[in-house]
Homo-oligomer: A and B are copies of this chain.
Amino acid sequence: MLERTLIDTLLRPLARHPAARGLGDDAAILTPPLGRDLVLTHDVLACGVHYLPADPPSDVAWKLLAVNLSDLAAMGARPIGVLMGLGLSSAEDDAWLTAFTDGLGRALEKWEVALLGGDTVAGLDRAVLGLTAIGEVAHGRALTRRAAQPGDELFVTGTIGDAGLGLAIARGDADPDRYLLNRFRRPEPRLAMGQGLLGVASAAMDVSDGLLIDAQRLAAASGLRLAVDLTQLPLSDAAAARTPRADDALIERATAGDDYELLFTAPPAAAAAVAALAAACRVRVTRIGSVGEGDGLSITGVGGRALRPARLGYEHGGGGST
């Protein structure tokens, strides 16, 4: 498909927000909401690295949007719009592009996000898809990784390790399971939860590279030590059925990454607010540890054993901010 056709036929119909100017100007023009801060993130998905060539194109579009919105969720921001950089190869034929933009359109509608602009380039060896997401949050109120306090409790949303199992399934390395595969291909950004955590959580981030490595990053950003009890790790039924109650198995789940759940800290007095929020958002929230003085992580396994895993997660840069 000619890039001009891709833009005119498939992308322009998605760019209905006035700021996008019908993709007909050099740039988008956005009037920022008054008294709000903007939250900006850019994540890249490369074919063969972050998704597999056989993944359904609509799921690739979903994931490209979701991983970026997850960064906004971690700051408590409401998404406004996105710009995309689509680097395409000959593998992304007309059928692929049609299914991709169709899925993109549905995902944009679901999360009420506007397509504001972007760029396309054809002729690559494989697809490299970049997306910048812009969100807004009350001035000075954004959640960060830095403000955890000693005595806070450590929570995580949803379940951990599903996406890692889903990736193994997608690769043909594990027995099929629709739920787990879906958790790898269509992560759910915790937008409502993130916005609800404003004023409740002391610090937050999203879990993209593995629960343990991301917890270590939160600890470092706050200048404190996080205690993580792996026996409290929230597992889905499907993951639990594949996870013997043993340290090695729990560590595998907690280092697999691609969860796109929220990891956050809150003072003990906020426990009721956290529970109420979880109920309102219909999101499972599990207390998995606590915050103390010091630095780094202390990880506890089965029987209270102190664990020192050789590897805490992915080191590929991940997250939103480079």
A contact residues vs B (CB 8 Å cutoff)? 2-4, 6-7, 11-12, 15, 19-21, 23-32, 36-44, 46, 49-50, 70-72, 74-75, 77, 81, 83-87, 116-126, 128, 130, 132-135, 137, 139, 142, 144-146, 205-206, 221, 315-322
CB-based contact A130/B72 at 8 Å: no
CB-based contact B26/A119 at 8 Å: no
Chain B's nearest CB lies how many Å from the CB of A15?
8
Q: How far is the CA of A37 from the CA of B33 in the complex (A)?
A: 10
CB-based contact B121/A75 at 8 Å: no
CB-based contact A316/B32 at 8 Å: no
Scoring A24, A25, A117 by chain B CB atoms within 10 A of each residue's CB, the highest score goes to: A25
Chain B's nearest CB lies how many Å from the CB of A41?
4
Chain B's nearest CB lies how many Å from the CB of A315?
5
Q: Which chain B residues lie closer than 8 Å to A86 at the CB level?
A: 44
CB-based contact A29/B38 at 8 Å: yes
Chain B's nearest CB lies how many Å from the CB of A301?
26
Pairs A–B under 8 Å by Cβ, sample size 21: A7-B322, A11-B322, A25-B145, A25-B146, A26-B74, A26-B145, A26-B321, A27-B41, A27-B321, A29-B137, A30-B40, A32-B37, A40-B116, A42-B130, A42-B132, A46-B124, A84-B322, A118-B321, A118-B322, A119-B318, A120-B317
